[in-house]
C-alpha cells in the first residue's frame, strides 16, 4: 500500500439516510487524506432529497467537500461509474474508500487504491438498508442534523379558540413524545403589550424561531414530536394581519416538514383570552386552514367534538402515520 500523504480521496454513496457508519467511513478518509470529496448520488426516486443528504453530511464533516452527483442508473457498472466520477470531479482520485463490494472494482477503473472500511459492520452495526427499514429503531445512529430533519411530525393547526394547544399537549402525552409550543403566541403578547403594529419582519422572526425551536426538540426526541402549529400556519396569520403572504414567507414555510396535519374544528364555543381577534373571523380562518393544508399534499384530518373525541381521532391518525412513515421507501 502506497503512502496516502497528500492523497486525494473519494467516497460515493446514497447516504440514504446518513448514519454513524457513513460518518466512520468519511472520518477514516479524512484522517488519511489531504483532500476528501464525498459524492452523494441523486435519484428522483429517493424520498429524502439529495440536497438534504448533502447538507447533513457537510454539517457533520466540514473538512470534506460534499457534492451531489447525478445517478446514471448503472449501479453494477464500475467502468461507467469510474468515468462518470472522474468527469464530475475533474481528476482521477488517489484512493477510494468504501464499505461495499463495488469499491475495489470502481477504484481499479479509476487507477486508484482502495481502502475497505468496516464491511462486516462490526465497528458500526448499521447500514442504510437497516435504517430505512425502521428509522425510529435506528435513531441512535443518526447525527443531530439528520434527527432534526427526519423526526416525524404531527402538526396541530386551527383558527383561534379551537383547542389547538389543548389537543397538542394531550396528544403528546398520549404518545409519550415531546410537544413544541407555539412561539407566535408569546410574540403576540409582546406586540400587544408594547402597543405595536405587525410588520412582515415580525412574521419572519416568528417563523425562524418556530423552526429553530422545533428542530432543537426534534434532535432531543426519540423520533416523533407533536407541534402546536408550524410556519405553514404562520403564512395564514401574515395574510390575516397584513393582507397577503409574501414570497419570502412562503420560502421559509417551504422548509417545514409535516407528516400529518390535524385541523381543529371551529364548532366549539369561542373563548376570548385577551389577545384573540374575535369570533367574527374564526370561521373564515378555519376555511383558510382547510384550503391551505389541503394544498400542501400532506395527509390531514379534521377533528371535532369533545376533547376526548378529538384526542381519540388524532391519536389513531398519529399512530397510523408513525407506523407508515417509520419505514423510508
Percentage of the chain surpassing pLDDT 90? 82
In the prediction, which pLDDT does 100 show?
A: 93
In the prediction, which pLDDT does 1 show?
A: 47
Cβ count near 248 (within 10 Å): 13
Indicate whether 1 belongs to any domain: no
Of 105-114, 199-208, 266-275, 286-295, the least confident: 266-275
Bridge partners (DSSP) of residue 260 are 154
Percentage of the chain surpassing pLDDT 70? 93
Is there a single domain that holds both residue 222 and residue 273? Answer: yes
User: Band of the pLDDT at 74, cuts 50, 70, 90?
Assistant: confident
Is there a single domain that holds both residue 164 and residue 198? Answer: yes
Q: How far apart are CA 74 and CA 80, in angstroms?
A: 7
Residue 160 has pLDDT above 90, yes or no: no
Is there a single domain that holds both residue 72 and residue 199? Answer: no
Q: How many CA atoms lie within 13 A of 321 on its CB side?
A: 25
Kindly state the average pLDDT of the residues 85-112. Answer: 96
Is there a single domain that holds both residue 94 and residue 207? Answer: no
Of 87-101, 159-173, 185-199, the least confident: 185-199
- Is residue 261 within 8 A of residue 277, CB to CB? The reply is no
Is there a single domain that holds both residue 112 and residue 197? Answer: no
Indicate whether 146 belongs to any domain: no
We report the CATH number of the domain holding residue 192 as: 3.40.50.300
Residue 29 has pLDDT above 90, yes or no: yes
Residue 204 has pLDDT above 70, yes or no: yes
Indicate whether 294 belongs to any domain: yes
Q: Quote the domain boundaries for residue 28.
A: 8-135
Residue showing cell 488517489: 94
Residue showing cell 417545514: 256
Is there a single domain that holds both residue 258 and residue 198? Answer: yes
Q: 307-325 vs 164-175: helix axis angle to the nearest 10?
A: 50
Is there a single domain that holds both residue 258 and residue 125? Answer: no
Indicate whether 258 belongs to any domain: yes
Indicate whether 141 belongs to any domain: no
Please tell me the total number of residues recorded for the chain in this structure: 329
Kindly state the average pLDDT of the residues 143-159. Answer: 97
Kindly state the average pLDDT of the residues 178-187. Answer: 87
In the prediction, which pLDDT does 146 show?
A: 97
In the prediction, which pLDDT does 279 show?
A: 64
Residue 273 has pLDDT above 60, yes or no: no
We report the CATH number of the domain holding residue 114 as: 3.40.50.620
Q: How far apart are CA 214 and CA 72, in angstroms?
A: 37
Residue 193 has pLDDT above 70, yes or no: no
Is there a single domain that holds both residue 206 and residue 305? Answer: yes
Kindly state the average pLDDT of the residues 199-205. Answer: 93
- Is residue 209 within 8 A of residue 194, CB to CB? The reply is no
In the prediction, which pLDDT does 215 show?
A: 97
The mean pLDDT of the chain is: 92
In the prediction, which pLDDT does 187 show?
A: 75
Is there a single domain that holds both residue 126 and residue 266? Answer: no
Count: domains in the chain = 2
Q: Tell which of 102, 135, 168 closes a domain.
A: 135
In the prediction, which pLDDT does 214 show?
A: 97
Note if the pTM is more than 0.75. Answer: yes
- Is residue 42 within 8 A of residue 117, CB to CB? The reply is no
In the prediction, which pLDDT does 197 show?
A: 79
In the prediction, which pLDDT does 73 show?
A: 84
CA distances from 86 to 24, 173, 203, 297 (A): 24, 53, 46, 39
Of 33-37, 190-194, 209-213, the least confident: 190-194
Is there a single domain that holds both residue 200 and residue 260? Answer: yes
Indicate whether 69 belongs to any domain: yes
Indicate whether 186 belongs to any domain: yes
In the prediction, which pLDDT does 194 show?
A: 64
Indicate whether 84 belongs to any domain: yes
Is there a single domain that holds both residue 128 and residue 195? Answer: no
Is there a single domain that holds both residue 63 and residue 164? Answer: no
In the prediction, which pLDDT does 227 show?
A: 98
Residue 274 has pLDDT above 60, yes or no: no
User: Band of the pLDDT at 195, cuts 50, 70, 90?
Assistant: low
In the prediction, which pLDDT does 276 show?
A: 54
Amino acid at each position: 500500500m502506497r503512502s496516502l500523504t497528500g492523497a486525494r480521496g473519494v467516497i460515493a454513496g446514497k447516504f440514504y439516510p446518513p448514519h454513524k457508519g457513513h460518518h466512520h467511513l468519511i472520518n477514516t478518509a479524512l484522517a488519511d487524506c489531504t483532500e476528501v470529496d464525498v459524492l452523494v448520488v441523486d435519484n428522483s426516486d429517493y424520498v429524502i432529497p439529495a440536497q438534504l443528504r448533502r447538507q447533513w453530511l457537510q454539517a457533520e464533516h466540514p473538512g470534506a467537500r460534499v457534492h451531489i452527483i447525478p445517478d446514471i442508473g448503472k449501479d453494477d457498472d464500475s467502468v461507467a461509474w469510474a468515468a462518470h466520477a472522474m468527469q464530475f470531479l475533474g481528476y482521477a482520485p488517489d484512493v477510494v474508500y468504501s464499505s461495499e463490494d463495488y469499491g475495489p472494482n470502481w477504484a481499479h477503473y479509476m487507477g486508484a487504491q482502495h481502502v475497505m472500511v468496516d464491511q462486516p459492520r462490526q465497528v458500526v452495526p448499521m447500514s442504510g438498508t437497516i435504517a430505512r427499514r425502521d428509522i425510529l429503531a435506528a435513531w441512535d445512529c443518526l447525527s443531530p442534523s439528520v434527527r432534526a430533519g427526519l423526526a416525524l411530525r404531527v402538526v396541530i393547526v386551527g383558527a383561534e379558540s379551537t383547542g389547538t394547544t389543548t389537543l397538542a399537549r394531550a396528544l403528546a402525552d398520549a404518545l409519550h413524545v415531546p410537544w413544541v409550543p407555539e412561539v407566535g403566541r408569546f410574540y403576540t403578547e409582546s406586540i400587544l403589550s408594547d402597543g405595536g403594529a405587525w410588520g412582515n419582519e415580525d412574521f419572519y422572526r416568528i417563523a425562524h424561531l418556530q423552526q429553530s425551536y422545533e428542530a432543537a426538540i426534534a434532535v432531543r426526541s426519540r423520533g416523533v414530536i407533536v407541534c402546536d402549529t408550524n410556519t405553514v400556519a404562520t403564512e395564514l396569520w401574515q395574510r390575516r394581519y397584513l393582507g397577503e403572504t409574501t414570497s419570502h414567507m412562503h420560502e421559509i414555510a417551504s422548509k417545514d416538514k409535516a407528516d400529518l396535519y390535524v385541523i381543529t374544528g371551529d364548532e366549539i364555543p369561542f373563548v376570548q383570552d385577551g389577545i384573540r381577534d374575535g369570533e367574527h373571523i374564526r370561521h373564515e380562518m378555519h376555511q383558510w386552514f382547510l384550503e391551505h393544508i389541503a394544498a400542501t399534499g400532506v395527509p390531514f384530518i379534521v377533528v371535532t367534538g369533545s376533547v376526548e373525541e378529538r384526542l381519540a381521532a388524532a391519536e389513531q391518525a398519529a399512530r397510523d402515520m408513525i407506523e407508515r412513515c417509520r419505514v423510508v421507501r
